[in-house]
Amino acid sequence: MKKIDHEKELERLDDMRVYEKEAYLQGYRNIAGIDEAGRGPLAGPVVAACVILPENCDIEGLNDSKKLSPSMRDKLYELIVESAISIGVGMADEKCIDEINILNATKLAMKLAVEQTDTKPDLLLIDAVKLSDVDIPQRSIVKGDSLSVSIAAASIIAKVSRDRLIEAKDSMYPVYGFKKHKGYGTAEHINAIKKYGICPIHRVSFTKKFTV
């Protein structure tokens, strides 16, 4: 990066630490960001991540995973893993989603992600969701993946983790093109469902309208 670009990036990251700074001033130390990937797809699990970053951690390029290219997400994934105090990943599979609905499955995946951290968070910053059965102080932040470095980090860990899980299924069910669309409802994917029916990783509650 050019010097001016580097300085602007550090300023942007500092702006994304507003919630973390406030929490540190209130005495919190292990501040965890939580986000999910995979609420919308027709197949596969919803995956959540819980990430605790060190105070004043600067990972240049860190942002909402949806704003990043796949190659940049992969690069940042490795940097987050190297830098984080602790990371937990949780998931709820397609059968769980069909059974308890996608919102409850998302909350379950988030709870499991918190439980998977080897350092217990003392504050949770969560993207747009509230967890009713987790005994840790929490703040729900709308569009948090663009406003908090901790949630942005979690969004990248969740997205890359889920993409890799789905890509691994491509060779098992090659007619659906999972490696390309990651289970989302593209025209190609929907046409494959109409032609071949659903496979074991499809969400029945999401795909039934294409199979009648």
The predicted-structure confidence for 153-162, as pLDDT tens digits, reads as follows 999 999 999 9
pLDDT band at 5 (very low <50, low <70, confident <90, very high): confident
pLDDT exceeds 50 at position 17: yes
Per-residue DSSP letters for 73-110? HHHHHHHHHHH-SEEEEEEE-HHHHHHH-HHHHHHHHH
* SS3 assignment for 142-157: CCHHHHCHHHHHHHHH
Helices (H) and strands (E) in the chain, counts: 10, 5
Q: How many CB atoms lie within 10 A of CB 157?
A: 29
**Strand 86-92 vs strand 123-127: parallel, antiparallel, or unpaired?**
unpaired
Mean pLDDT over residues 25-35, rounded? 98
Dist CA 8 CA 147 (whole Å):
16
Pure H helices in the chain: 3-15, 18-25, 70-83, 94-100, 102-115, 144-147, 149-169, 178-181, 187-196, 204-211
pLDDT exceeds 50 at position 1: no
pLDDT exceeds 90 at position 131: yes
pLDDT band at 97 (very low <50, low <70, confident <90, very high): very high
Dist CA 150 CA 53 (whole Å):
6
What pLDDT is attached to residue 40? Answer: 97
Please, are residues 94 and 202 in contact by the beta-carbon 8 Å criterion? yes
What pLDDT is attached to residue 4? Answer: 52
Mean pLDDT over residues 76-88, rounded? 98
Please, are residues 157 and 22 in contact by the beta-carbon 8 Å criterion? no
Element (H, E) at 38: none
pLDDT exceeds 90 at position 204: yes
Dist CA 125 CA 151 (whole Å):
7
Identify which of 177, 186, 182, 179 has the alpha carbon closest to the alpha carbon of residue 210: 186
Identify which of 206, 201, 204, 207 has the alpha carbon closest to the alpha carbon of residue 169: 201
pLDDT exceeds 60 at position 135: yes
Domain ranges of the chain: 3-169
Q: Can you state the percent helix, strand and coil of the chain, rounding each to 5?
A: 50, 15, 35
Q: What is the percentage of the chain residues whose pLDDT exceeds 90?
A: 94
The class of domain 3-169 in CATH terms is alpha beta
pLDDT exceeds 80 at position 15: yes
